[in-house]
């Protein structure tokens, strides 16, 4: 089932679709060569925004937590991709330990964990779940709405390895972004693979580093297909030392907002775009759509209410926000019915394995949709749908989905480069 998309592509993005379809052999070869130089993270999801005149990633998550929202028909793709990744990492792997988030009562998140387990079991692994919650002293059984049961167990750490009672895994799959810090129990493991590595955690990772890497990837790709890199790349600025509640760092933040807005306005004039430029201020680390706000003018920062400042001052696990990125706002012109939508693409290893639309009925096209009240509609891959180079631009959903997959893989490649650059054990040349 292909979702009924109310908004058709228009303007420059039609030209981008045509160029990407025409360059498909060169694009796929380029990715193939890039993956010879870089190792993709085990899995990844990328939030995209389609403005009609621009298609760009706005967030890249290395601990994706919504596998339950993928279309059922794409699961074989996920299993094949997981098999390919496991063969590279640990060909004789038998046991996999999955460490989920601690909020084990979130029904939707638990469905994601169950879906992950299904994929990994079909890929040939025994899967069990361990928790970082030190209050769990023995196995806890959780019943899901579809009748499945998850058993969460306390971790057991020896001097060199991590596992569960009577369970010694070759690999450990982290589905916990560790925003609050890296638990010592995960450190200094020997001959066990952590997927992804610890420096992918939000305790270490920074969005500004990721989008700096993406900037380089986008420029290389844009040269390949002969497009303006801005068509697939949001401008951004990094601001340190911001305290929303103490009102320090406001001047530097306002200057950054002004700078990014002026760059956007220049591009809008170049392409004859009549929309009003805006930026999104985000915590430089973190997820769940927390610590995010839309701004059309730098003066809005000084005018924030006490409640708005409190919301911007902390993210997941109550972590204080002091570093932010000011990212170019990308309108979303996607709609499902009357509701604003944005595509989210999921990847395992270097393969696109599905996706969905994040949909919100009470948000506008310039707002963050990762907020309470959102729901999800599977990205409908028809069983036989391959890109159709002969279709009229903007008319074939598979062509649009292919374009989503290309830009999402650029985000994946940027994450690969990012992890290489930030690897504490790598020898930096």
pLDDT digits (tens, 9 = 90+) for 330-377: 999 888 888 999 999 999 999 999 999 999 988 988 888 888 889 998
Query: In this predicted model, which residue has the larger pLDDT, 115 or 401?
Result: 115
Q: What is the CA radius of gyration of the chain?
A: 21
| pLDDT score at 72 | 86
Hey, which bits of 149-189 come out as E strands? 149-154, 156-157, 162-163, 171-175
Query: Which whole number is the average pLDDT over 405-416?
Result: 97
> What tokens appear for 91 in the block?
């060909």
214, 328 contact by CB (below 8 A): no
Which residue carries 């601990």 as its tokens? Answer: 63
Cβ(198)–Cβ(182) under 8 Å?
yes
Asked if 387 and 402 touch (Cβ cutoff 8 Å), the reply is yes
Identify the CA nearest to 125 among candidates 97, 165, 163.
97
Q: Per the structure block, which two tokens stand in for 34?
A: 């890039």
On whether the CB atoms of residues 278 and 368 are closer than 8 A, the answer is no
Return d(Cα 37, Cα 156) in angstroms, integer: 36
Host H or E run for residue 211: helix 207-225
Q: Are 374 and 358 in contact (CB under 8 A)?
A: yes
Q: What is the mean pLDDT of the chain?
A: 89
Q: Compute the average pLDDT of residues 170-193.
A: 92
Q: Is the previous residue joined to 196 through a cis bond, with omega within 30 degrees of 0?
A: yes
């Amino acid at each position: 089932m292909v979702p009924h998309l109310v908004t058709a592509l228009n303007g420059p993005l039609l030209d981008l679709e045509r160029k990407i379809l025409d360059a498909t052999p060169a694009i796929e070869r380029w990715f193939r060569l890039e993956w010879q130089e870089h190792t993709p993270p085990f899995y990844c999801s990328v939030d995209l925004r389609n403005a009609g005149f621009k298609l760009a990633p706005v967030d890249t998550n290395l601990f994706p937590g919504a596998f339950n929202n993928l279309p059922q028909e794409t699961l074989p793709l996920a299993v094949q991709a997981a098999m390919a990744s496991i063969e590279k990492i640990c060909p004789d792997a038998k046991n996999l330990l999955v460490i989920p988030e601690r909020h084990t009562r979130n029904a939707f998140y638990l469905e994601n964990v169950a879906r992950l387990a299904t994929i990994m079991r079909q890929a040939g692994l025994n899967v069990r779940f361990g928790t970082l919650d030190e209050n769990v002293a023995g196995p806890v059984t959780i019943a899901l709405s579809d009748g499945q049961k998850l058993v969460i167990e306390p971790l057991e750490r020896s001097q060199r390895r991590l596992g569960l009672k009577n369970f010694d895994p070759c690999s450990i799959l982290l589905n916990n972004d560790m925003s609050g810090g890296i638990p010592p129990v995960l450190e200094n493991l020997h001959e066990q693979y952590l997927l992804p590595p610890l420096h992918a955690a939000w305790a270490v990772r920074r969005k500004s580093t990721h989008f700096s890497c993406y900037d380089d990837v986008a420029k290389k790709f844009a040269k390949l297909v002969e497009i303006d890199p801005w068509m697939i790349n949001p401008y951004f600025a990094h601001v340190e030392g911001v305290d929303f509640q103490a009102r320090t760092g406001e001047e530097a933040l306002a200057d950054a907002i002004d700078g990014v807005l002026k760059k956007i306005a220049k591009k809008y004039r170049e392409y004859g775009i009549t929309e009003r430029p805006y930026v999104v201020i985000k915590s430089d680390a973190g997820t769940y759509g927390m610590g995010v706000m839309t701004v059309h003018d730098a003066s809005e920062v000084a005018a924030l209410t006490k409640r708005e400042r409190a919301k911007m001052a902390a993210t997941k696990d109550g972590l204080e926000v002091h570093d932010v990125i000011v990212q170019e706002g990308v309108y979303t012109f996607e709609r499902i019915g009357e509701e604003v939508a944005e595509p989210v693409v999921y990847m395992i290893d270097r393969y696109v394995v599905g996706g969905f639309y994040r949909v919100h009925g009470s948000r506008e096209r310039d707002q963050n949709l990762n907020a309470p009240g959102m729901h999800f509609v599977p990205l409908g891959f028809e069983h036989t749908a391959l890109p159709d180079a002969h279709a009229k631009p903007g008319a074939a959903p598979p062509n649009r989905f292919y374009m989503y997959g290309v830009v999402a893989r650029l985000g994946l490649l940027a994450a690969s480069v990012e992890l290489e650059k930030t690897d504490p054990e790598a020898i930096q040349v």
